[in-house]
Structure 1
Amino acid sequence: MSRTSAPAPAPAEPAAVENPSTTAADAPLSHGLKQRHLSMIALGGVIGAGLFVGSGAAIAAAGPSIVVAYAISGLLVMLVMRMLGEMSAANPASGSFSVHAERAIGPWAGFTAGWAFWFLLCVAVGLEAIGAAGIVHGWLPGVPEWSLVALFMLMFCVTNLAAVKNFGEFEFWFAALKIAAIVLFLVIGVLAILGLLPGTDSPGTSNLTGHGGWLPNGTEGLIVGLLASVFAYGGLETVTIAAAESEHPVQGVAKAVRTAMWRIAIFYIGSMAVIVTLIPWNSESLAKGSYVATLEHLGLPAAGEVMNAVVLIALLSAMNANIYGASRMACSLVARGQGPKALGRISGGVPRIAVLTSSVFGFTCVLLSYWRPDDVFMWLLRTIGAIILVVWFFIAVSQLILRRRLEREAPEKLAVRMWAYPYLTYAALVGIAVVFVLMARDPNTRLELYYTGGLVLLLSAAGYAHQRSRAKAAAAD
């Protein structure tokens, strides 16, 4: 899937690349995000609901080696974020990697990466709304889930229709709560491992070496854990989209990217190490969530409900961020002549029609989960399965091209530099290709790969046709 249609070579600098401060309506996006907003968005973007919920199944497959799986996938994500940070610091734009792909490869690439990511975010909004409604319904069984979904969708649609600082404030506090929860979990976990938590004994290495050892299910289990961990890192890209609306976009994105390594190491890899040390990897309780299972294993009261509240916050945070990201990506695409002009209209510094459209599409996905759960909704889920890998592929290829161009034309813009360029960029491309291959050989992910591949091919064909038609129109003028 890492290969799309092969168009004619694009010009060195496409004519319609987004100016980060303007749109198709020729009105500026607001610059209402402060540095504290951007810093917390970067921190909170690492901590998603997938970490709290989905890691249980990954641990059940990989056993203690899930720590290695998260470390490997975390290294790949760090390389991708470093590449994206280099390009975004040199050219901050609300279209982020879509703008970079257009500059480097051609309009068809920006079209494909941008609309694929928009589609991913909109479907994800629907999924997160369903998950959040399910948690609240457990607390308030008398309230129908559909009404809760409608409430959440309305709440974050209104939030994003207002000034961008509202989005920033919501994300600031959501991220602060998530970070506080995971730091508290890590502190409790380390104390328990050291035998310093009252009422608990240190497990030592018994859960790491017993129950089948480090690789209880062999390399196949490690591969399943690796695939699960790759997709748990989604959400980091939002910070480069938000940077274009911050007070100091270059400094903001540079700082966020430079701290990515320790965030990933502490929040993801550290959490997995604590969990598999404290609780047997084959414990049935992991099915309810690895964090909940660990805290209950330590005998902490009300741990399940507390973690449910944290997961709810993570889901609501993701909804808020994804509506924001989808609307800005759509607005950016329109600014470059790659979408309906109405989506690019700015009012009060906010692309309100893009926000409404993205929210409506997300709500439609929710309705499909009720009306057609076995066909249309499953098709949507499978289609978004590997989109983030496609985005990473475009990021890596774009960075290879743009870095050479920047060094030749504007080296002063390289505020962030990719490590060991170009070798680690090629290493990241190899890593992405390996994940594609692993998905293709796993029956559980093969269909997702095919569906995503079909969508990407359709978007590439449409983008290339649009590119050719615009070139002909320009030649005719």
Structure 2
Amino acid sequence: MTPPRATPPPTDDPDPAGLWRALTGRQVGMIGLGGAIGTGLFLGSGLAISRAGPATIVAYAVCALVAFVIAWALAEMVVVHPRAGSFGAVAHQYLGPPAGFVQRWTYWTIQVIAVGGEVVAAGLYVRFWWPQLPLWLLTAVFSAVLLGANALAVRFFGTVEYWFAMVKVVAIVVFIGLGVVLITVGLPHSPATGLTNLTAHGGFLPGGINGLFLAMVFVLFSYIGTEVVAVTAAESERPERDIPRAARRMVLRLVLFYVLAIAVVLTVVPWEVTAQGGTVDTSPFVRVFESAGVPAAAAITNFVVLTAALSSANTNLYLSTRMVHSLAGDGFAPAWAGRLSPSGVPRNALGLAALGLALAAALSATAADTAYLVLFGISVFGALVVWIMILVTHWKFRRSARPASPVRLWGAPVTSGLAALFLAAVLVSTAFVDGLDTAWSAGVPFFAFLVVAYLVIARRRARAGGVSSSGA
């Protein structure tokens, strides 16, 4: 027997796509938190720390404010428009079909690339214990597991992601607790470190203001994923209650976790040492656990990082599936991608995401460095453009004649404008930052391709009697 759908929430713009509203408030909150906490925090955030030293703490705090503005702007919009496709569908309405097309296909692409990279990374983490296992086999197994979790009812996906995210949250809480003890009173085999490491190695701001800004460029990407909560609105039991609550709690917890965790890292371990991180063995989490006398610290941290990678991949696969489903509803993806399974899951859209996952995973595992850099550049450029478009959509949303949302971003449009300017500055700076300079060389051609694709599709639809390229 097909289970009954949850009662739709009392919004003035219910989602017409037929997705089931089955995600609980707890699941929505944990999905958002888990989607935003990736492997970078556990492996040291070395690039940012190498630029700013202890001042990286400030970089995380500033970028948290930007993430808060984006999350709250999204909550304000999706409470009124809890649709499949989330911010992409809202952009379609307020900025026009071209914006909705470009934003959703961009987001689909960067999420598929992320999933491919994460499943390969998960395979590498397993080889920490069993190096003899072939990477292709581990990648295939993890891909199959994630596809299976996403192919079942959305409530099952929510449950899986809830516990994936819980492992990360518990690990961070334990890490912060042990770090505070090491800093203040010490442990039997580790005397208290105090705050000396924050100033003893070149000062609190060894890289100057320029180093701090460069650190912000890298730190900002740690917060990508805060938009996940908005995408769940179309399948939340009560989006008018759960989305604002989840957005607020997610950002506050991210600030707490990221800022405190980085503060612990930089206080317990000299920043020059942390800046050399990037592997499980050199992770600051391992160093703190070892200082606290925790046995098998590297193995425990590797398990947490493995869980973090699978959690991110699981959520990103969910996001990419819902974006294609939304595009199909607007006629910008094959119609079959919009069909739902008996359990209310867009499995055809999931299949399309699986093809992208296979390609991205193959390139991540075997392709030449240039191919990987192209994928990375598209992801960096695309993520920043998506965030900027979210804020532009919010500005247009505020100027519309629609009644005010029950959730309001404080200080908008000033706060949202400042956040957009900051993101634009980061986007421009990527052209001059080593490691991010492929963003423009790969991102601009990709966006040009999407624009041409939209014009071709819109012209065909116009000839067939559909909407014109202007959205009429």
TM-score of the superposed pair, with normalisation by structure 2: 0.91
Q: CA deviation at 1:126?
A: 0.7
Q: How does 1:462-477 map to 2 (within 5 A)?
A: 462-467=453-458, 470=461, 473-474=465-466
Comparing 465-474 and 195-204, the one that deviates more: 465-474
1-structure distance, mates of 2:365, 2:49: 30
Alignment partner of 1:179 is 2:169: yes
**Match of residue 331 from structure 1:** 325
Alpha-carbon distance in 1 for matches of 2:70, 2:364: 33
Contact 1:286–1:293 (8 Å) recurs in 2: no
Aligned residues: 451
Distance across 2 between alignment mates of 1:275 and 1:377: 30
| Matching residue of 2:410 | 419
CA drift at 1:336: 1.0
Q: Once the two structures are superposed, what CA deviation does each residue of 1:278-336 show, in whole Å capped at 9, x if it has no partner? A: 11001166343232233334453321111110000000111111111110110001111
Aligned to 1:452, which of 443, 448, 469? 443
Change (3 A) 1:302 1:396: same
State how 1:47-62 maps to structure 2 within 5 Å.
Answer: 47-53=37-43, 55-62=45-52
Aligned AA (1:138): F
* TM-fit CA distance, 1:392: 0.6
1:175–1:317 CA contact under 8 A, matched in 2: yes
Structure 1 counterpart of 2:285, one-letter code: Y
Report the Cα distance in structure 1 between the residues aligned to 2:48 and 2:402, rounded to whole angstroms.
46
Q: Which residues in structure 2 correspond to 1:147-186 (within 5 Å)?
A: 147-186=137-176
Which whole-Å CA distance do the structure 1 matches of 2:14 and 2:304 have between them?
34
Within a 5 Å distance, the mapping from 1:395-434 to structure 2 comes to 395-405=390-400, 408-411=401-404, 414-434=405-425
CA distance in 2, matches of 1:48, 1:39: 16
Task: State whether structure 2 residue 259 is matched by structure 1 residue 269.
Answer: yes
- 2:467 & 2:316 partners in 1: Cα distance? 38
- Supply the AA of the counterpart residue of 1:441: F
1:225–1:290 distance in 2 versus 1, CA, 3 Å: farther
SS of aligned partner of 2:436: helix
Q: Whole-Å Cα distance in 2 between the matches of residues 187 and 265 of structure 1?
A: 16
Structure 1 stretch 66-75 or stretch 34-43: which is displaced more? 34-43
Aligned residue number for residue 36 of structure 1 = 26
More deviation, 381-390/465-474:
465-474
2:311 aligned residue? 317
Counterpart of 2:319 in 1: which secondary structure? helix
Deviations 1:395-430 (A, max 9, x none): 01000011121xx3322xx12101112111111111
Output the amino acid matched with 2:240.
V
Q: How does 1:238-387 map to 2 (within 5 A)?
A: 238-283=228-273, 286-287=277-278, 288-348=282-342, 349-387=344-382
SS at match of 1:193: helix
Change (3 A) 1:143 1:261: closer
Structure 1 residues without counterparts, runs of 5 or longer: 1-18
Cα deviation digits, residues 18-46 of structure 1 (max 9, x gap):
x76443xxxx2222211221122123233
Whether the 8 Å contact between 1:20 and 1:94 is mirrored in structure 2 is: no
- State the SS of the aligned residue for 1:73: helix
Counterpart Cα distance in 2 of 1:371 and 1:171: 29
Query: 1:166-185, CA deviations, whole angstroms, 9 ceiling, x for partnerless residues?
Result: 11010111111111111111
For residue 340 of structure 2, give the secondary structure of its aligned residue in structure 1: coil
**2:56 is equivalent to residue 66 of structure 1:** yes
Match of 1:92 in 2: 82
Q: Residues 179, 295 of structure 1: CA spacing in aligned structure 2 closer, same or farther, 3 A cutoff? A: same
Secondary structure, counterpart of 1:389 in structure 2: helix
**For the Cα contact (< 8 Å) 1:55–1:289, is it kept in 2?**
no
Superposition pairs of residues 204-215 of structure 1, within 5 angstroms? 204-215=194-205
Q: CA deviation at 1:363?
A: 1.6
Change (3 A) 1:470 1:20: farther
Give yes or no for contact 1:186–1:270 (8 Å, CA) kept in 2: yes
Q: Is the 8 A contact 1:389 1:432 kept in 2?
A: yes
8 Å CA contact retained: 1:46, 1:263: no
In the alignment, which residue of structure 2 is the partner of 1:13?
none
Secondary structure class of the residue paired with 1:45: helix
Query: Does the C-alpha gap of structure 1 residues 362 and 426 become closer, same or farther in structure 2, counting only changes over 3 Å?
Result: same
Counterpart-to-counterpart distance in 2, 1:221 and 1:108: 37
User: Structure 1 residues 219 and 475, CA, compared in 2 at 3 Å: closer, same or farther?
Assistant: closer
User: Is the Cα–Cα contact under 8 Å of residues 104 and 401 in structure 1 kept in the other structure?
Assistant: yes
Provide Cα deviations, 1:176-226, integer angstroms capped at 9, x if missing partner: 111111111111111111115443322222101111111223334323321
Secondary structure of 2:369's aligned partner: coil
SS at match of 2:327: helix
Alignment of 1:186-201 (within 5 A): 186-201=176-191
Looking at structure 2, the residues matched to 68 and 207 of structure 1 have their Cα atoms a distance apart, in angstroms, of 16
Deviation at 1:382, TM superposition (A): 2.1
Q: How many Å apart are 1:370 and its aligned residue?
A: 4.1
Which residue is 2:35 aligned to? 45
Which secondary structure does the structure 2 equivalent of 1:138 belong to? coil
- 2: CA distance between counterparts of 1:214 and 1:448? 30
Q: Does 1:104 align with 2:72?
A: no
- What is the identity, as a one-letter code, of the residue corresponding to 1:313? T
Q: Contact 1:107 / 1:467 at 8 angstroms: preserved in 2?
A: no
Identify which range, 436-445 or 100-109, moves more after superposition: 436-445
- The answer on whether the counterparts of 2:458 and 2:467 sit within 8 Å (CA) in structure 1 is no
SS at match of 1:139: coil
Partner Cα separation in structure 2 for residue 96 and residue 433 of structure 1: 22
Whole-angstrom CA distance in 2 between matches of 1:451 and 1:200: 48
Once the two structures are superposed, the pairs formed by residues 75-90 of structure 1 within 5 Å of their partners are: 75-90=65-80
Question: Structure 1 residues 377-386 or 75-84, which shifts more?
Answer: 377-386
- Alignment-derived partner of residue 145 in structure 1: 135
Report the Cα offset of residue 238 of structure 1.
1.6
TM-score of the pair, normalised by structure 1: 0.90
